Amino acid sequence: MRRSFLYGFIALVVMMFAGCGYNTIQQNDEAVKAAWGDVEATYQRRNDLVPNLVETVKAYAKHESETLQAVTEARAKVGSVQVSKDMIGDPQAMARFQQAQASMGGALSRLLLVAERYPDLKASQNFRDLQNQLEGTENRINVARTRYNKAVQTFNTSIRVFPSNLTNMFILKLPQKEPFKAEAGADKAPKVKF
C-alpha cells in the first residue's frame, strides 16, 4: 500500500513537471537568442557593405562629400555601440542600439538620394550592384527584426501564461525580452523632394 502511494506520488510529480512549461520556456529563450543572432548578422552585413558603397560613390561624387561624411560618421556611431545578447533584456541598451541604427538608415537614405540626383552615378555598374545589395540588406534587416519580434512575443507569452508562469516565477526567473520598436516619426510617410 505504502509503495503504491509512493509510486503514485512520483507519477503525479513527474506529470506536473511535464506540463509545467520548463522545456518550452527554455526553447523559446533559445529561439529569441537565435533570432537576435540573425539581427546582429544582418547589421554586420550592412556594416561590411557600406564602406564599399561609400568608396564607389566617392569616386563618382566628390562634390557630395557632406553626405558621404554623414554615412561614415553614422557607421562609426553604429560601430561604437557594443552589441551583445545581454541587450535584449535592457530597454535602454536597445534604445541606444536602435538610435544608432536609425542614424545609419537616415544617412543611407541621403546617399541613395544622391544617386537619384546625379544620373552619372547610376551609370556605374558597380554602384548599381552595391545599391541592389544595400537594398537587399535593408530588406534582410527588416525580416530579421520581424522574426526577432515574433520570437520575443512567443517567449514573453510563454513566461506569462499558466502554468508556465509559475515555472518561470519560482524556478527560472527569466525577465521579459525587449522587442524592436518603431523609430520616432515612423508613423509618418517620408517626404521626398527633388
Confirm if 106 and 73 have CB atoms less than 8 A apart: no
Cβ atoms < 10 Å from Cβ of 21: 23
What percentage of the chain reaches a pLDDT higher than 90? 19
How do residues 146-156 score in pLDDT, each as one tens digit?
A: 999 999 999 99
How do residues 158-174 score in pLDDT, each as one tens digit?
A: 999 988 888 899 989 99
Q: Vertex 159, ends 144 and 178: CA angle to 5°?
A: 40
Q: For residue 80, what is its C-alpha cell?
A: 561604437
| pTM score of the predicted model | 0.65
What percentage of the chain reaches a pLDDT higher than 70? 72
How do residues 30-78 score in pLDDT, each as one tens digit?
A: 999 999 988 888 888 888 877 777 777 666 655 556 666 777 777 777 7
The pLDDT of residue 8 is above 80: no
Comparing 192 with 49, which gets the higher pLDDT?
49
How do residues 180-190 score in pLDDT, each as one tens digit?
A: 887 777 666 65
Cα distances from 43 to residues 28, 141, 151, 182, in angstroms, run 23, 7, 18, 17
